[in-house]
Homo-oligomer: A and B are copies of this chain.
Amino acid sequence: MSFHKGEEIFLGKQLLGELYTCSSTYLNDPEAMKSIMEEAANYANATIVQSVFHHFSPHGVSGVVVIQESHFAVHTWPEHQFVSVDFYTCGATAFPEKAMEFLVDKLNAKQFDVKEVDRGHLSKIQEFGNINK
């Protein structure tokens, strides 16, 4: 499974989300953040393998939902009302954009940036494979 962009083929796609001016309600609560992230993963049609969330000292939550299609991670800074999110996916069955939309809405982010990064550039993989044969 892969992603096509014009003539380029990539094995993975990653969204890096920066969510600003979020509501503080959930950002210091690992159980709440786990539940929201799992809801977002389901909404994105990802298959959850396992979730690991923990509390930072003195504040903040860090967690990863490991999904069949790769991973979906979050780190929160309640003192800055800031949330940083990563969704890495392989294959075409999960829709990371949907997870981002869900989080922006649920966390009430008033500003956000989402950057897309292509991973596993197939022609590079093949070129380097040939060079090193």
- Given A64-B66, A71-B73, A77-B11, A21–B119 Cβ distance below 8 Å? no
Q: Which partner residue on chain B sits nearest A113 by CB separation?
A: B124
Residues of A within 8 A of B (CB): 11-12, 14, 16, 18, 20-21, 49-50, 52, 54, 62-64, 66, 68, 70-71, 73, 75, 77, 80-82, 84, 86, 88, 90, 110-111, 115, 117, 119-122, 124-125, 128-129, 131-132
Query: In whole angstroms, how far apart are the Cα atoms of A36 and B80 in the complex?
Result: 35
Query: In whole angstroms, how far apart are the Cα atoms of A67 and B47 in the complex?
Result: 23
Selected contact of A64 from candidates B14, B21, B54, B73, CB within 8 Å: B73
Instruction: Decide: B64 and A75 in contact? CB cutoff 8 A.
Output: no
Query: In whole angstroms, how far apart are the Cα atoms of A121 and B80 in the complex?
Result: 11
Could you list some 15 contacts between A and B, CB below 8 A?
Answer: A11-B80, A14-B16, A16-B117, A20-B124, A21-B128, A21-B132, A49-B52, A54-B68, A75-B88, A80-B120, A80-B129, A81-B125, A84-B88, A86-B88, A111-B128
Query: In whole angstroms, how far apart are the Cα atoms of A43 and B125 in the complex?
Result: 27
Question: Least Cβ distance of A99 to chain B in Å?
Answer: 16
